[in-house]
A = this chain, B = another copy of it.
């Protein structure tokens, strides 16, 4: 189990050799022109991905730390926020908000449903909120929520829009300025295929104004300190950052921009379709509303009588491939295949073959090669 394993989970995602080399290369000292140039290049690349002219800050933390930065910087205890709950990561966002004393109201969905703008509008009409906390790609169910329409409903009701875009930015279109988003959080270890350790926050003018009033305590994640340090002649991080991970992220962004976001979105959509058709060809059901939108991760119902966790364990033990298990109420019922990041079509085919072999071993009637054939059909017809 200590051999390098093949990650087909929704983060961390496979790391390209160029990124490994960069993060294993001599450290660029974090105060001075070399790091300043690197930080500027990385934040420029992220601004392009977010589609924003606003500030993008980089924290040494997981995506969860980035989400906490939004809650700590923009809100005060008692502030009402609305959280549409339709999966594990939306629930985490709500938990962070509660930890900071916010008055959390929810719109409750079955896990796997897509959040509807009309529901958010109705909830805000009944009780206004200072902000709506959204998740673009709900990694636990695969559902990619329609941020544009939901954000519009929130803006119409005068609420700020804070988005968890951790597992979507770079894989799915995002338009921070165009959609009027106030804060959007993402991370290094998802679609960009860098190593985990960095979170990002894009921050609108309105969010900065909210930050100036907000009383929740913060220091490590205090946006003001970052903004100040980014404004130096040689931009730097206020606290010593995970320099090696920044070096890897720089390499990852350079790779990403060799083809650019549009090519990345198309690739993610195509790989996602191939996985979905392959799974359907085995007679398994996809989980979640509108699976064609689920470009980053595919959630799959385990066949009747087979525990989904056993499928994951079998694939990992036999082939060293890591799938993601079901979370929360989906544990044992659902397994997930991640296809965001640095993948090509043969990675998908390899993963489907491993699933075929595991299902076969676990007693599910598999027509061998069926999933692979269906995926090949998708790839061939996309030529």
Contacts and interface: CB of A to CB of B under 8 A. Distances in A.
Interface of A: 1-2, 4-5, 7, 9, 11-12, 15, 20-21, 23-30, 32-34, 37, 60-65, 68, 71-72, 95-96, 99-101, 187, 189, 195-197, 216-222, 239-245, 248, 316, 322
A15 B26 contact: yes
Contacts of A72: 217
Contacts of A68: 219-220
Contact of A26 (B20, B21, B29, B217): B20
Chain copies in complex: 2
Contact of A217 (B30, B34, B99): B99
A249 B216 CA distance: 33
A29 B324 CA distance: 11
Contact of A99 (B34, B195, B219): B219
Contacts of A95: 219
Contact of A241 (B100, B196, B221): B196
B23 A218 contact: no
Contacts of A29: 5, 7, 9, 12, 322
Contacts of A23: 23-24, 244
A96 B34 CA distance: 29
A220 B61 contact: yes
A1 B35 CA distance: 10
Given A29-B322, A72-B217, A242-B242, 4 more contacts: A95-B219, A96-B220, A189-B240, A197-B244
Given A239-B65, A240-B62, A20 B24 contact: yes
Contacts of A316: 32
Contacts of A5: 28-29, 32, 34
Contact of A4 (B1, B20, B21, B26): B26
Contact of A12 (B27, B71, B187, B218): B27
> Of A1, A12, A60, which is in contact with the most chain B CB atoms at under 10 Å from its CB?
A60
Nearest to A22: B24
B217 A217 contact: yes
Contact of A243 (B71, B196, B240): B196
